[in-house]
Amino acid sequence: MKVCSKCKNKKPLKEFHIDNSSKDGRKSWCKKCSRKSALSWRNKHILRARATASKWYRENPDRANEKSSNWYYANKGIVRNSFLKRTHNITLIEWEKLFDKQDRKCAICRTDKPGKPPFNSWATDHDRSCCSKDRSCGRCIRGILCARCNKGIGLLRDNEVFLENAILYLRKNRMQSGKH
């Protein structure tokens, strides 16, 4: 046990960063106080902190990519949740519930596989007449589609007349090709 010289609380040694130059091998401030102090400094000196970080990323591209990649894979759920909140105003839990209601299949073609690259992800379909092309209010979400089906209805501009005309076109040409 050790007392933090900043907050004066008694804490286990594992709550202090390692410092080989000190007698007990630990920093005098606990990790919580150290982090709070570092964030305070960063907020006061934001431009300097950004410049230092940018310089490190430029000088260490391989380590930076590895660091980013490791963080991404360790935090995929956080990344996905953040993306869904930002783009569709729903949480990952809400998205999963919606997908479960569809038996975890595309709402149009009923596939359980989103496809091969570049069409290898599920798309959260929303009514573009309600919200912008890339963002959703969350209330206009229609369902989860495979990327191909989402791209298809998007290219036909979510227009029912265009979709009906496409069906008629396919039927007409299927019948004509059957005569040959």
Give kind and range of the element (H or E) at residue 18: strand 16-18
Predicted confidence (pLDDT) per residue in 23-69, tens digit: 999 999 999 999 999 999 999 999 999 999 999 999 999 999 999 99
**Measured CA angle at 66 (ends 61, 71), to 5 deg:** 125
How high is the pLDDT of residue 179? 57
Contact assessment for residue 122 and residue 99, using Cβ atoms and an 8 Å cutoff: yes
Per-residue model confidence as pLDDT tens for the chain (180 residues)? 999 999 999 999 999 999 999 999 999 999 999 999 999 999 999 999 999 999 999 999 999 999 999 999 999 999 999 999 999 999 999 999 999 999 999 999 999 998 777 777 899 999 888 887 678 899 999 999 999 999 999 899 989 999 999 999 999 888 776 654
pLDDT at 173: 87
> Which stretch of DSSP H or E encloses residue 30?
strand 26-30
Rounded alpha-carbon distances, angstroms, from residue 65 to 13, 32, 59: 32, 27, 12
**What is the rounded distance in angstroms from the CA atom of residue 110 to the CA atom of residue 58?**
46
Q: Is the pTM of this model over 0.85?
A: no
Phi-psi region of 89 (alpha: psi -120 to 50; beta: other; left: phi over 0): left
Q: How many residues does the chain have?
A: 180
Fold of 75-170: His-Me finger endonuclease fold (3.40.1800)
Give the pLDDT confidence score for residue 123 in this predicted structure. 93
Please give the helix or strand (H or E) that residue 125 lies within, else none. strand 122-126
Contact predicate 151/109, CB 8 Å? no
